[in-house]
Structure 1
Amino acid sequence: MKDSFYKYFNCNNKEELYLKLKQNSIDTHKLGKYLKFNQEKENKKIVIRGQNKLFDYLKNNIPDRDEVQIIMFNSNMEVLSDNKFPINTQFKDILDKSYVETANHVILLSHENEYNKLLRLEMDFKLFGYKIIDRIELDKNLELDSKNGIGNCQFTEEDIINGKNKNFKEEKKKINSKELHEFMDYYAKNELLGLNIKDDRKKIKEILKIANQEKSQEYFGLITYNKDQNITNIETSLFKGGIREAKIDPIIITPFLLHQDTDGLIIFHNHPSGSISPSQGDIQVTETIEKMAMRFYKNVEDHFIIGKNKTFSFREEFLLSNYSYERSSNKELSISEKEINLKEPVKNKIKSKEITKEKSTRNRLRSRGQER
């Protein structure tokens, strides 16, 4: 059984944990760093070019004396994975955790007296087609000894201690995921309430991404806002589905449209697969909810699809309806010609992708049948 998420932070429930987080309690520092990491992850790319960049990156990030560090890059020298392993870890286990599809360059780093093991690792990576950028050893004085002669860099014992500190991103695998998701929903509700859908748009997207990107099932939620465009209510789990979809019942959405203080909605759901591309079903659901809102002279401001690292916006991709309403006068407002012209091509492109994918699946199944 997994450990309690709340006990991990010396708390008993979501309310106590949220209060500690807002007070910047030392108990919640790891959680705060985790939230900040997920907030910045969409645009954050670490690129290492040249020895100074490498030294800066390794600072506070070097392995313990009985570990080997494997840093994997793509052709642009963007860090795609960085992991530390006990020096005797088998290569298959190292590659299993370190593997990223687009990675093709590797740096190996360990302490002295592990030359043979490091050389063996280098040969294994080369066998699988990886280019070794460097094989680095740290001597007893914590000075770099580089195979490629990248120069001298002095580290300290404090750097090892900092490098050993586990990130909550990894430790969260050991704790109760149900409690984690419960807290993230509670966190999102408290952080979103009162935000302005225009002025705080970027912040709203970030909070929704943080709260939903790690969920292993699909959840559909909605946000309501008033005539001042301030958020008045958040439902984070209105519908719950499986890995691929969540069935949406329009009747459940009706009470939110009936509320007199509601001027419009933002709807959102996550894609556990990590992809943010909308399906034809996502588009149809959005259009249905838009039509329902129009009957009450209310707007659908946006539909966000949340993946592992990014968020898709129906408004930004011109996939919302061609009309919105001024609630005070019930006046229909046309949107720009640009949005009208772009909406159909985008929808057709998505539909074309789904048809192609469906045909490919049928052909694959047909070929398997013939093989048998």
Structure 2
Amino acid sequence: MNKTIYEEFGCTTKEELYQKIKLNDESVRQLKAFIDFSKASYKLTEPIKTNEDVLKYISGIPETDESKILFLNLRNIPVYLGTCNICDEASQRQMLLNGLNASGVKFFCINNPALEKHPNIQNFYSLVASCKLKLIDSIIVYEKNKCYFENSKQAYIFDENCNIKLNTKEFAKNKIQDLINYNEFTQYYCKQEIQGLNIFKDKEKINSLLKIAYQDSNYEVLGAIFTDKNGNVLDIENISYGNIKTVRENYIELSKHLLRNENIKGIIKFHNHPSGKSSPSSKDLSNIENNINYLDKIKIDLIDSYVIGKDGIFSIKSKYPELFTNKLINIHKPLFTFENNTAEKDTIKDIENLINSISESTGILDMDVRNLIDKNAELKMFEDNNTKYTFNVEDYGIRKYTDSQEEIYKKYSSISDFMENDCDLELDM
């Protein structure tokens, strides 16, 4: 008979298990390592192309009697990082089984310098070779940030920015997912960890928690993240449960949650696909209009709708913005929530230039212009015969508003493109 996840880790309730994790109890070391691995795995979709790509998986110097193995699949994408005791054949076999179950076909070996002289090292290499796994390179870690690739004869010194901690020890991924109440606990863990995060500033962290909680469910679950006016998460709840192919909307259940807290101003709907593919179905897309119509009546903003799969999180609003005919009226989205990459830095620079340009041409203080953009991301351009035109700094589109409808009038490739060609603004302050 299968154990529950609580029995496996010496607990009786999800609350007790969660507290053990938060207190770093030694008895749940493997479970915590698995959760940490799952969080990091949310971004692991890029293949290993160079030695430099491997550095992020080196989290300190391995012990003198342990070897770490980074397994890659046929496309050179990391699928598992395990640790085994070189003196314990059972530990070695379990780690290899985990790597093979994760579709590993090749590997990097990460070792302490002393391990190369260990009497059992050749037996370990023979065991690995018997599994028909291809050794790409052996990495000797001399210090926390210094290592040497033996086959390619390259040495590296690296900093903390290259270091993603993925030390899963000898934990078997396939084993924990078979435990009874596994999904119940991961969803409870998500509920505890997500509260207080901001859907704009902490989007990546929220997505990783959602993926941990729902990617392994064998049936579809429809849920909602509830936020206040600033996008801070107040709660997350499951709304309805379906089967392996579909889940039905339950507006009655959703209304119960919305009416319990008057501070709720916006929601993100989400559901999972047991197939593992996060691409939305035609029904998923058509439901957006129904959701907006329902939420508009109770003055709640639909911020986005997510589809969760093992391959990631699909944001329907990001890919199909035209479906979201509602403007965020109750949610005050912060203007600067960008990550540190070149394209987003350029966007920040363009927004700053736009603010300066508006301030100079209208005489309105920079601070007041910034507050206006912060409020709804749209700038009024002009009115003509009761028709209003606005520019949106998020999707670079000019919108046309009449008494009866809203439509996209013109689109630009960037804010700078808009400023160069059509920056004719009037601001109501």
Aligned to 1:301: 303
SS of match in other structure, 1:277: coil
Q: CA deviation at 1:263?
A: 1.1
The structural deviation recorded for 1:107 is 8.1
| Change over 3 Å in CA distance of 1:290–1:150 after alignment to 2 | same
Spell out the pairing of 1:58-73 with structure 2 (5 A cutoff).
60=62, 71-73=71-73
CA offsets per residue over residues 115-151 of structure 1, 9 Å max, x none?
99988865xx9xxxxxx56699xxxxxxxxxxx9767
Q: Which residue of the partner structure matches residue 32 of structure 1?
A: 32
Specify the code of the residue in structure 2 equivalent to 1:166. Answer: E
- Residues 1-372 of structure 1 correspond to what in structure 2 (within 5 A)? 1-44=1-44, 45=46, 47=48, 49=50, 60=62, 71-74=71-74, 77-80=76-79, 97=101, 99=103, 112=122, 165-176=169-180, 178=181, 180-235=182-237, 237-258=238-259, 260-319=262-321, 320-327=323-330, 336=392, 338=396
1:15-60 deviation digits (Å, cap 9, x = unpaired)? 1111121122222222222111111112235727469969969x85
Percent identity between matched residues is: 24
Which amino acid in structure 1 is aligned with residue 240 of structure 2? F
Conservation of the 8 A alpha-carbon contact between 2:33 and 2:168: no
Cα distance in 2 between the residues matched to 1:300 and 1:4? 37
- CA separation in 1, counterparts of 2:231 and 2:74? 43
Distance 1:212 1:12 in 2: 22
2-side partners of 1:94 and 1:232: how far apart? 37
In the superposition, the TM-score normalised over structure 2's length comes to 0.55
Q: Identify if the C-alpha distance between structure 1 residues 17 and 324 changes in structure 2 by more than 3 Å, giving closer, same or farther.
A: same
Query: In structure 2, what is the Cα distance between the partners aligned to 1:53 and 1:324?
Result: 43
- SS of the aligned residue for 1:316 comes to helix
Compare relative contact order (CA 8 Å, sep 6+) and give the higher one, 1 or 2: 1
Q: CA deviation at 1:314?
A: 2.1
Count of residue correspondences: 299
What is the letter of the counterpart of residue 255 of structure 2?
T
State whether residues 73 and 103 of structure 2, in contact with CA within 8 Å, keep that contact through their aligned partners in structure 1: no
TM-score, normalised to structure 1's length? 0.63
3-state SS of 1:294 partner:
helix
Which residue of structure 2 lines up, in the alignment, with residue 345 of structure 1? none
Work out the CA distance in 1 between the residues paired with 2:127 and 2:264.
64
Letter aligned with residue 192 of structure 1:
I
Q: Which runs of 5+ in 2 are unaligned?
A: 110-119, 139-149, 155-166, 332-375, 379-389, 398-406, 410-429
Cα offset, 1:70, TM superposition? 10
Secondary structure of the 2:209 match is: helix
Q: CA RMSD in A?
A: 4.6
The alpha carbon displacement at 1:233 in A equals 2.9
Structure 1 gaps, min length 5: 126-131, 137-147, 153-162, 343-372
2:5 partner amino acid = F
CA distance in 1, matches of 2:151, 2:2: 46
Letter paired with 1:26: E
C-alpha deviation, 1:280, in angstroms = 0.9
